[in-house]
């Protein structure tokens, strides 16, 4: 039980620190955290249907539509018809959206490098294994 309490405290502390870091990094872009997360998902997974994107972000398609409208207006995302289903709308990053994704991803990579600089390969592999298992639970 003590390990569970300690793990709970450490995960909560890490989440708080990561959230604070993310807020400060995103603040510099002039875009909202939700907008940057939308760009991030599209940058990692490529163009996709609105429903798929909403599911990956854990939001409704209605909420996503508002985000996408703003990102289309900012020329970061483009909408187009699905090649095999004209009823479906697909969204993908523009060149400017890709540039924001690359920059934001580089910031993430730098952070991970900094916070794991004292890990050996075994510790990195264990962390990858543990985080992968934890992510599957969501």
DSSP annotation of 117 reads T
* Residue for token pair 């959206």: 97
C-alpha span between 94 and 83 (Å, rounded)? 18
* Structure token digits, residue 35: 């907008």
Rounded to 5 degrees, φ, ψ at 85 are: -145, 95
* pLDDT tens-digit series, residues 82-134: 888 878 889 999 999 999 999 999 999 999 999 999 999 999 999 999 999 99
C-alpha span between 63 and 135 (Å, rounded)? 24
DSSP annotation of 88 reads S
C-alpha span between 83 and 77 (Å, rounded)? 18
* pLDDT tens-digit series, residues 9-29: 999 999 999 999 999 999 888
0.75 exceeded by pTM: yes
| Residue boundaries of the structural domains of the chain | 32-135
Closest CA to 43 of 119, 116, 89, 105: 105
CATH entry, 32-135, from 3.40.50.720, 3.30.230.70, 3.30.2230.10, 1.10.10.10: 1.10.10.10
């Amino acid at each position: 039980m003590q390990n569970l309490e300690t793990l709970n405290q450490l995960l909560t502390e890490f989440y708080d620190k990561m959230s604070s870091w993310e807020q400060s990094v995103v603040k510099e872009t002039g875009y909202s955290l939700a907008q940057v997360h939308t760009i991030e998902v599209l940058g990692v997974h490529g163009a996709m249907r609105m429903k798929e994107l909403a599911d990956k972000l854990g939001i409704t398609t209605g909420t996503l539509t508002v985000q996408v409208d703003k990102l289309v207006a900012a020329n970061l995302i483009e909408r187009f018809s699905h090649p095999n289903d004209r009823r479906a709308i697909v969204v993908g990053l523009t060149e400017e959206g890709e540039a924001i994704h690359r920059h934001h991803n580089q910031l993430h990579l730098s952070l991970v490098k900094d916070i794991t600089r004292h890990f050996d390969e075994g510790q990195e592999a264990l962390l990858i294994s543990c985080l992968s298992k934890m992510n599957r639970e969501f």
